[in-house]
Structure 1
Amino acid sequence: MRKIYLLSLVPFIAILGFLPFVNRIEPFVLGLPFNMFWMALWTVLTSVILGIMYKLDPRNREGEEK
């Protein structure tokens, strides 16, 4: 298994593993309760991580070579 695929575990662990620790309403971040901000943050970061995985995956570079 390629090590790059282990990056896909980071959002899973952050969202589900740390949810009991961030399950609080205060402090408010950007007008959102902290747990809602946590979920919104990791929704965006998941897209970033998947984009990084796409760029680093050698199977996606086959079409770029000329």
Structure 2
Amino acid sequence: MKRLYFLTVIPFVGMLGFLPFANRVEPFVFSMPFVMFWVVLWTVLSSVTLAIMYKLDPRTKEDGEK
């Protein structure tokens, strides 16, 4: 269960940890500088990661007990 929460580290490391390596203007991806594309990509991937965590978390399952 606690291992599931380590998925939150992936977007953090991807966006901030590798940003110095992605800090360049060229090449343009979808008419955006690469660094802007990098941030947008990791914003979307963060949402995907959180959706996966929600689906895998046993506390979100409705079993009728409270």
TM-score, normalised via structure 2 length: 0.91
Question: Which structure 1 segments of 5+ residues have no match?
Answer: none
TM-score, normalised via structure 1 length: 0.91
* AA partner of residue 34 (structure 2): F
Q: Supply the distance in 2 between the matched residues of 1:44 and 1:17 (Cα, whole angstroms).
A: 17
**SS at 2:24's partner residue?**
coil
The alignment's C-alpha RMSD in Å is: 1.2
Residues matched between the structures, number: 64
Runs of 4+ in 1 over 3 A off after TM superposition: none
1:48 CA drift (Å): 0.5
The aligned residue for residue 21 of structure 2 is: 21
* AA partner of residue 6 (structure 2): L
| 2:40 pairs with 1:40 | yes
1:4 CA drift (Å): 0.6
| 2:14 pairs with 1:2 | no
1:56 CA drift (Å): 0.1
* AA partner of residue 38 (structure 1): W
